[in-house]
Amino acid sequence: MISLVGLPGSGKSTVGRQLARRLSLPFLDSDHLIEQRLGCSIREFFDREGEARFRDLESTVLDELTQGPSGVLSTGGGSVLRPLNRAHLHERTQVVYLRSSPDEVFRRLRHDRTRPLLQVDDPLQRLRDLFAVRDPLYRETAHFVIETGRPSVATLVNMIVMQLELAGHLPAGVAAPGR
């Protein structure tokens, strides 16, 4: 299993879908699965039950997913906040940290009203605060760090595939472009 971690808006779902397609693996999105279980959006649950209750559910879902069959897993931005989640991700999967600067994420998300942690007066400062806390945790969890910068999704997928091949986690040529 390959897991993607990073700030909200770093491209985990978008890159994950393309990576899964490239490797002919199922794509799993932990936030989407949580919403399916809840029967409501994460934002609604967050507002009603609070972050601690959400993190409890997130831990349960991540524990289940990281024991499951092979695939590409997009995690929630805060999935690394709990030590047990970091351990499960690192020990059971190959973790790729899609590292995006707060300014870069802000450019992508400035009009997004669906992300509960960004519904504040100064979302850019909020992203900077999240990055300060989470960057070391993402690094601790990750086997690979990919700087997202401005490359296309296809370029990011190629970079991940190359890293996985070089590390011996994919047979060479298995995920050649165009497959």
Annotation: binding site: 9-14, 31, 55, 77, 115, 134
CA dihedral 53, 30, 9, 120 (to 10 degrees): -20
Phi, psi of 8 (to 5 degrees): -55, 130
Could you tell me which of 59, 68, 73 has the C-alpha nearest to residue 20? 73
- Cα→Cα distances 28→5, 112, 124, 129, 166, Å: 13, 22, 28, 28, 24
- The tokens describing 50, both together, are 């609070």
Q: Which residues are annotated as a binding site for substrate?
A: 31, 55, 77, 134
Q: In the chain, where does DSSP find H-type helix?
A: 12-23, 30-38, 42-49, 51-65, 83-92, 102-109, 123-141, 153-166
Instruction: Decide the pairing of beta strands 27-29 and 72-74.
Output: parallel
Q: Which residues are annotated as a binding site for Mg(2+)?
A: 13
Length of the chain, in residues: 179
- The tokens describing 25, both together, are 């693996």
Q: Which residues are annotated as a binding site for ATP?
A: 9-14, 115
